[in-house]
């Protein structure tokens, strides 16, 4: 009985990984220093494994995955930066960019990393969800903000992006 439950959970987890591994890696990359990304990814995966029996299908799988991954990422970030002695690098160097990628205006991946690193953790989450084409209602459900607040935040972030990277690029 226990064995068949385990097998079912493993099959479910495999499917979850196939559909969401790229998403999870991207979240880990947005919230952890390069040498801590794999640890954060592992934490998120373990939390997902533990929570899988509680997934009731009321929300879509990706919404559920986002909630757990973001809660884990912010929890790790909060604990890490609340204990400076455990911090391996300062917050400003969370997503360090090489001089090459900073200077290359066509490297959109580096620009994305750079812009995400400038945002507060919650705004970062809102922007990531929006970049993943989630509707405002889903973003609101994941973050707990109102739909209106999500819209205002996104508009301000878009304005900031255009101001910093389009009109006055460094």
Partner 1 sequence: MNIDTLKNAWQASMAVTPDATGIDRMTREVRDATRQGERQARWRTLSGSAAFGLAVIMLVVLELLPQVWLGMRLALMLWALSLVACIVRLWRVRAMHRLRPDMPLTAHLQACLERLRREVAYHQSLRWWFWVPFGAGFAMAIAQRLPATPDISWLAPVAVAAFWFWGFNEGPRVWPRRLQPELERLQKLLDRASTPAS
Which of 96/123 has CB closer to partner 1? 123
- Report how far residue 67's alpha carbon sits from residue 100's, in angstroms, rounded to the nearest whole number: 34
**Element at 68 (helix H, strand E):** helix 61-82
User: Closest approach of Cβ 127 to partner 1, in Å?
Assistant: 8
Tokens of 126: 């809102």
DSSP conformation class of 45: H
Q: Are 128 and 73 in contact (CB under 8 A)?
A: no
Tokens of 50: 């533990």
User: Closest approach of Cβ 79 to partner 1, in Å?
Assistant: 6
User: Closest approach of Cβ 84 to partner 1, in Å?
Assistant: 8
Tokens of 49: 């494994």
Binding site for partner 1 (CB under 8 A): 6, 10, 13-14, 17-18, 21-23, 25-26, 29, 42, 45-47, 49-51, 54-55, 64, 67-68, 70-72, 74-75, 78-79, 81-84, 105, 108-109, 111-112, 115, 119-123, 125-126, 128, 131-133, 141-145, 149, 152-153, 156-158, 160-162, 165-166
User: Closest approach of Cβ 166 to partner 1, in Å?
Assistant: 5
Residues whose CB falls within 8 Å of the CB of residue 118, separated by 6 or more in sequence, listed in order:
164
Q: Count CB atoms within 10 A of the CB of residue 113.
A: 17
User: Closest approach of Cβ 125 to partner 1, in Å?
Assistant: 6
Which of 87/93 has CB closer to partner 1? 87
Which of 117/149 has CB closer to partner 1? 149
């Amino acid at each position: 009985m226990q064995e068949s439950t385990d097998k079912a959970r493993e099959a479910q987890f495999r499917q979850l990984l196939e559909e969401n591994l790229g998403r999870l890696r991207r979240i880990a990359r947005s919230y952890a220093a390069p040498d801590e990304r794999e640890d954060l990814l592992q934490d998120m995966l373990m939390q997902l494994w533990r929570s899988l029996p509680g997934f009731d299908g009321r929300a879509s799988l990706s919404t559920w995955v986002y909630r757990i991954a973001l809660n884990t990422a912010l929890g790790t970030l909060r604990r890490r930066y609340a204990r400076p002695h455990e911090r391996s690098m300062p917050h400003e160097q969370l997503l360090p960019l090489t001089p090459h990628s900073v200077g290359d205006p066509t490297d959109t991946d580096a620009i994305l990393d750079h812009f995400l690193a400038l945002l507060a953790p919650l705004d970062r989450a809102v922007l990531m969800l929006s970049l993943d084409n989630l509707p405002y209602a889903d973003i609101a459900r994941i973050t707990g903000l109102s739909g209106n607040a999500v819209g205002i935040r996104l508009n301000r972030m878009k304005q900031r992006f255009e101001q910093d990277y389009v009109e006055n690029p460094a």
